[in-house]
């Protein structure tokens, strides 16, 4: 039985306005469905479901209603939208879409949501600490928050994340509780992973085998933040995994399962083959799923310096706006754009309206392959970042 504090009851009774009441209805309904005993405060929220391509008019109508009197009570950041909010025209986005996308952004801004428009909020100011309770949507960020940072969040949907923002609380169930954060299956990785695409393929293999169970992973001797971002995105996409433990890399907060499954180079090669379409004609190269870090952008800018993107190919490097601003200051933006590639902020290749514009995507991201195939019907090839850039230029 869900017990509410007086201030939570007041929200439910509408004494804090209509949007807060609706938000509290969503939170308490989820609490009752999942058997929560109480609500707990969250220190931050990440909202997904921002692209007008996915929301459409019904989604925008819901947001506009909530924005009449709804206000974020905690730090709240936003997932990628369907376009770069400033340079959309040069990326081939049509004006009608841009107007509607801006209406979505305006509704969030009216509620006090920070319009970061990135799936890596932890790189741009929304960084919880170990053990902190948050309410995040965006499956890759949820997995990263639970596993790499050791914060605690369920995999929220767009409406439930917004509801947590407008009330400042979430129902205490699932991954907020110790007993649900214990590893259930162990994987020993017997091959060396070097690049973000390797980590994405590992996420694909473990995700497909694990199917929502919490994996405990051994055998990884080294992983960069970008590798862990790629792994988090992929294991969440291919297995619905919201949390993992990686021995000696992520915080150890679990017992270790006894039964072990081995992952070999052959498993990764099979996963790579499954994402490589033999007949793909690559006309689109996209890096930055999850959004590229400044270190990746620096590396790509140096690779593109003095080169030229081949005729018939479009290159997107997608990232967060603050990271793009820094790239401008450091001269990386100029190197990338002079080569004919685009440094795109606020958006990504999966949520931008790209269907019909390209036929074949090359990327370092297993998650991007999944959405390119499923949503946009592109053929795909997965390669390292360096191979993607070499494919792009003369």
Rounded least distance, CB 317 to ligand F3S, Å: 11
Rounded least distance, CB 347 to ligand F3S, Å: 8
Rounded least distance, CB 363 to ligand F3S, Å: 10
Tell me the C-alpha to C-alpha distance, in Å, between residue 68 and each of 7, 16, 46, 161: 21, 13, 20, 18
When the beta carbons of 73 and 367 are compared against ligand F3S, the nearer one is 367
Return the bridge partners of 36, or none.
none
When the beta carbons of 24 and 50 are compared against ligand F3S, the nearer one is 50
When the beta carbons of 257 and 290 are compared against ligand F3S, the nearer one is 290
The answer to whether 198 touches 29, Cβ cutoff 8 Å, is no
Rounded least distance, CB 8 to ligand F3S, Å: 32
The answer to whether 10 touches 16, Cβ cutoff 8 Å, is yes
Binding site for ligand F3S (CB under 6 A): 79-80, 119, 140, 233, 289-291, 318, 348, 350-351, 367-368, 371
Query: How many Å apart are CA 85 and CA 156, to the nearest integer?
Result: 25
Rounded least distance, CB 381 to ligand F3S, Å: 17
Rounded least distance, CB 348 to ligand F3S, Å: 3
Extract the tokens encoding 387.
């191979």
Query: How many Å apart are CA 320 and CA 293, to the nearest integer?
Result: 8
When the beta carbons of 161 and 350 are compared against ligand F3S, the nearer one is 350
When the beta carbons of 343 and 348 are compared against ligand F3S, the nearer one is 348
When the beta carbons of 20 and 118 are compared against ligand F3S, the nearer one is 118
306 burial level (CB within 10 Å; 0-12, 13-18, 19+): exposed
Please provide residue 195's backbone torsions phi and psi, each rounded to the nearest 5 degrees: -130, 170
Query: How many Å apart are CA 394 and CA 191, to the nearest integer?
Result: 33
The answer to whether 48 touches 158, Cβ cutoff 8 Å, is yes
């Amino acid at each position: 039985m869900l017990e509410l504090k007086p201030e939570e009851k007041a929200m439910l009774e509408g004494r804090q306005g209509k949007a807060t009441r609706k938000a509290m209805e969503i939170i308490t309904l989820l609490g009752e469905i999942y058997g929560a005993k109480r609500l707990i405060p969250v220190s931050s929220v990440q909202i997904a479901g921002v692209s007008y391509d996915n929301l459409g008019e019904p989604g925008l109508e819901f947001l506009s209603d909530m924005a009449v009197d709804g206000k974020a009570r905690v730090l709240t950041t936003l997932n990628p939208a369907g376009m770069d909010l400033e340079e959309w025209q040069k990326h081939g986005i049509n004006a009608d879409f841009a107007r509607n996308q801006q209406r979505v952004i305006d509704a969030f801004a009216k509620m006090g949501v920070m319009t970061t428009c990135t799936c890596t909020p932890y790189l741009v100011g929304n960084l919880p600490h170990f053990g902190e309770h948050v309410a995040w949507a965006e499956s890759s960020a949820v997995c990263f928050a639970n596993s790499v940072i050791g914060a605690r969040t369920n995999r929220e949907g767009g409406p439930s994340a917004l509801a947590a923002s407008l009330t400042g609380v979430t129902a205490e169930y699932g991954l907020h509780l110790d007993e649900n954060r214990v590893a259930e299956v162990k994987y020993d990785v017997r091959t060396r992973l070097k690049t973000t695409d390797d980590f994405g393929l590992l996420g694909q293999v473990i995700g497909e085998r694990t199917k929502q169970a919490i994996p405990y992973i051994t055998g990884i001797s080294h992983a960069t933040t970008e590798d862990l971002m790629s792994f988090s995105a992929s294991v969440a996409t291919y297995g619905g995994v919201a949390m993992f433990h990686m021995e000696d890399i992520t915080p150890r907060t679990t017992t270790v399962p006894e039964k072990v499954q081995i992952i070999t180079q052959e498993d990764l090669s099979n996963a790579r083959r499954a994402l490589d379409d033999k007949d793909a004609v690559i006309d689109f190269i996209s890096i930055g799923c999850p959004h590229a870090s400044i270190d990746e952008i620096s590396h790509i800018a140096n690779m593109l310096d003095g080169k030229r993107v081949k005729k018939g190919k479009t290159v997107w490097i997608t990232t967060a706006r603050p990271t793009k601003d820094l790239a401008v200051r450091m001269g990386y933006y100029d190197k990338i754009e002079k080569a004919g590639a685009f440094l795109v902020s606020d958006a990504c290749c999966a949520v931008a309206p790209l269907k019909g514009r390209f036929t074949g995507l090359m990327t370092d991201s297993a998650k991007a392959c999944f959405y390119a195939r499923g949503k946009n019907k592109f053929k795909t090839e997965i390669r390292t970042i360096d191979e993607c850039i070499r494919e792009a230029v003369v």
